[in-house]
């Protein structure tokens, strides 16, 4: 038992799960058990969106210091707007809409990487700049009009299976695939290697450029995917639909134990952290404290979790 625990506590993701469970227990203690299951269901359905983009952001952050994709929120918006406008509430146009939305996400990824590689703009600023352009594209294309998703998409996005959102299962599958890619493919190893030492990665014969390209593409495509399903889930695309996801995408990655300095990624941690941040928000809402206190508590709890977890990490 104690040995299992000793092994478990070495895992960087364990702390986000412990935090999540602690927050959940505190919440249901407050409500005297009322709604304990429903809260978890809600957490799962909302956390999936954060997890989708978190996985992309995780890959980007893993490629090393300075790498972060700030264009995710704008890409979510653009993909959502494009999908909804092309689908135009018509089930028959579902696939074209998805293809178009993923197509523009592809272009976003290409553009981001072009800025980073060809113009050698530091990723953080390249993606910030491109996010402005992407948002403008969404504004000028969508005109701020909110179109409902086709019923099939809406049903799919809100469907549940055995009380668990269908999307959560799919995102679980996606997570397993990404974890496998990271551990067991040369692309994944290359990403981890670049994050530790890009020069050494080049000399070890790894294809550094291709891996970085693929990573920014992956992040953009996952953001696009999130845009599509989120529009389906929440009844349409809006220009501000991505706003909450900027800090969230970074937060779930780093709270989940992925190294900010690159070279170490953690898929289960993204789940733990996404659920934790959602439940934390819910807990503070349910406690009914005023906004200032809620914000302070949010910050302090994040710092507390990372502090408890941090001592066991080898590197920052």
Partner 1 sequence: DTKDKKIALSNNYAGNSWRQSMLKSWDKVTKQAVADGVVAAADPFTTSENQVTEQAAQIQNLILQGYNAIVINAASPDALNGVVKQACDAGITVVSFDGIVTEPCAWRIAVDFKKMGAVQLDYLADKMKDGGNLLEIRGLAGVFVDDAIHKGIEEGVAKHPQFKVVGSVHGDWAQEVAQKAVAGILPSLPEVKAVVTQGGDGYGAAQAFKAAGRPTPLIIMGNRQDELAWWKEQKDANGYETMSVSIAPGVSTLAFWVAQMVLDGKQVPKDLVVPFLRINQADLEKSLETTEKGGVANVEYSKEDAEKVVAGK
Partner 2 sequence: MDALVLNRKTLRALLPLFSLAIVLFATFYAQPRTMSYFGLNLMLQYAVPIALATVAQMFVITVNDLDLSIGPFVGLIGCIGATYLHDTPLLGIAALVACIALYAAMAALIYLRNLPSIVVTLGASFVWLGIAVLILPSPGGKASDWLKAIMSLQVPVVPFPIVAALAIAALVHVGLMTSAYGVIMRGTGGNPRAMARAGWSELKTKMAMYALAGVFGVLSGLSLIGLTTSADAHIADRYTLYAIAGVILGGGEFVGGRVSPFGAVLGALTLALAGSFLIFMRISPDWQIGAQGAILIIVLALRAIISTGEARR
Partner 3 sequence: MDVSKPAVELTAIAKSFGAVRALSGVDLILEPGECLGLVGHNGAGKSTLMHVLAGTLKADSGSLKIAGEDVSQAFSAAGASAHGIRCVFQELSLCPNLTIAENVRIVHRALKGFGWKAKAHGLIRQKLDEIFPGHGIDVDQEAGDLNIGQRQMAEIARAFTITDEPLRVVILDEPTSSLDAVTAKQLLTFMRQEVARGVSTILISHLLADVLDHCDRIAVMKDGKVVAERRAGQFTRNSLVAAMGTTVEKKNTPAAGSRKAAISAARAVEATPQTAPKAGNLVVHKGEIVGLAGLAGHGQTRMLIQIFDGARKSSALTRVEGKVAFIAGDRQSDGIFNLWSIGENTTVSSLEDLKRGPLIAAEREAEMARDWKERIQIRTPDMNNNILTLSGGNQQKALFARTLGSKADIVLMDDPMRGVDVGTKLEVYDMIRQEAGRGRSFIWYTTEIDELSHCDRAYIFRDGAIVAELGPDELTEDKVLHASFAESA
* Positions that interact with partner 1 (CB under 8 A): 27, 30-31, 34-39, 42-43, 45-46, 132, 135, 139, 143-148, 158, 230, 234-236, 238-241, 243-244, 278-279, 281-282, 285-286, 288, 291-292, 294-295
Residue 18 is a binding residue for partner 2 (CB under 8 A):
no
Q: 160 — phi, psi (to 5°)?
A: -125, 155
Residue 173 is a binding residue for partner 3 (CB under 8 A):
no
| Rounded CA separation 45/47 (Å) | 6
Q: What residues from 274 to 293 belong to the interface with partner 2 (CB under 8 A)?
A: 290-293
Residue with tokens 């508590």: 297
Residue 244 is a binding residue for partner 2 (CB under 8 A):
no
Residue 207 is a binding residue for partner 2 (CB under 8 A):
no
| Rounded CA separation 215/272 (Å) | 22
Please tell me what DSSP assigns to residue 145: -
Residue 263 is a binding residue for partner 3 (CB under 8 A):
yes
Q: At what angle do helices 245-255 and 291-310 cross, to 10 degrees?
A: 30
Q: 32 — phi, psi (to 5°)?
A: 55, 45
Q: At what angle do helices 123-142 and 72-87 cross, to 10 degrees?
A: 20
192, interface contact from partner 2, partner 3, partner 1, none, CB < 5-8 Å by kind? partner 3
264, interface contact from partner 3, partner 1, partner 2, none, CB < 5-8 Å by kind? partner 3
Q: Of 303, 270, 282, which Cα lies nearest the Cα of 12?
A: 270
Could you count the other beta carbons within 10 Å of the beta carbon of residue 109?
27
Query: What is the closest distance, in whole angstroms, from the C-beta atom of residue 145 to partner 1 in the complex?
Result: 3
Instruction: Please list the residues that pair with 165 across neighbouring strands.
Output: 160
Q: Of 224, 26, 203, 27, which Cα lies nearest the Cα of 108?
A: 224
93, interface contact from partner 2, partner 1, partner 3, none, CB < 5-8 Å by kind? none
Residue 22 is a binding residue for partner 2 (CB under 8 A):
no
Residue 47 is a binding residue for partner 3 (CB under 8 A):
no
| Rounded CA separation 75/81 (Å) | 10
Judged by CB under 8 A, the number of residues near partner 3 is: 22
| Rounded CA separation 288/76 (Å) | 31
Residue 205 is a binding residue for partner 3 (CB under 8 A):
yes
Complex with partner 2: residue 48 or 131, whichever CB lies closer: 131
| Rounded CA separation 65/80 (Å) | 30
Residue 204 is a binding residue for partner 3 (CB under 8 A):
yes
Binding residues vs partner 3 (CB under 8 A): 180, 183-186, 189, 192-193, 196-197, 199-201, 203-206, 259, 263-264, 314-315
Which residues contact partner 2 (rule: CB under 8 A)? 65-66, 70, 115, 118-122, 124-126, 128-137, 139-140, 199, 247, 250-251, 254-255, 259-261, 290-303, 306-307, 310-311, 313, 315-316
């Amino acid at each position: 038992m104690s040995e299992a625990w000793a092994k478990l506590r070495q895992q960087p993701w364990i702390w986000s799960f412990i935090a999540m469970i602690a927050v959940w227990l505190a919440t249901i203690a407050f409500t005297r058990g009322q709604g304990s299951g429903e809260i978890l269901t809600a957490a799962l359905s909302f956390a999936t969106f954060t997890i989708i983009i978190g996985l992309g952001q995780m890959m980007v952050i893993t490629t090393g210091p300075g790498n972060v994709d700030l264009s995710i929120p704008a890409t979510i918006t653009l993909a959502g707007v494009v999908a909804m406008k092309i689908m135009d509430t018509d089930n028959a146009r579902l696939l074209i809409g998805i293809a178009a939305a993923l197509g523009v996400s592809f272009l976003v990824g290409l553009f981001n990487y072009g800025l980073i590689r060809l113009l050698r703009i530091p990723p953080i600023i390249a993606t910030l700049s491109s996010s402005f352009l992407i948002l403008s594209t969404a504004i000028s294309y969508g005109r701020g009009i909110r179109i409902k998703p086709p019923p099939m998409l809406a049903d799919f996005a809100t469907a549940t299976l055995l009380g668990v959102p269908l999307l959560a299962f799919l995102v679980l599958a996606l997570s397993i695939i990404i974890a496998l890619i990271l551990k067991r493919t040369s692309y994944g190893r290359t990403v981890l290697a670049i994050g530790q030492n890009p020069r050494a990665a080049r000399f070890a014969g790894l294809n550094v450029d291709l891996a970085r390209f693929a990573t920014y593409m992956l992040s953009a495509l996952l953001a696009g995917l999130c845009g599509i399903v989120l529009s389906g889930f929440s009844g349409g695309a809006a220009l501000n639909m991505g706003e909450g996801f900027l800090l969230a995408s970074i937060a779930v990655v780093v709270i989940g134990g992925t190294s900010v300095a690159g070279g170490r990624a953690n898929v289960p941690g993204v789940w733990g952290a996404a659920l934790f941040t959602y439940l934390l928000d819910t807990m503070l809402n349910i406690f009914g404290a005023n906004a200032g206190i809620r914000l302070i508590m949010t910050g302090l709890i994040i710092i507390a979790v990372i502090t408890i977890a941090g001592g066991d990490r080898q590197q920052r």
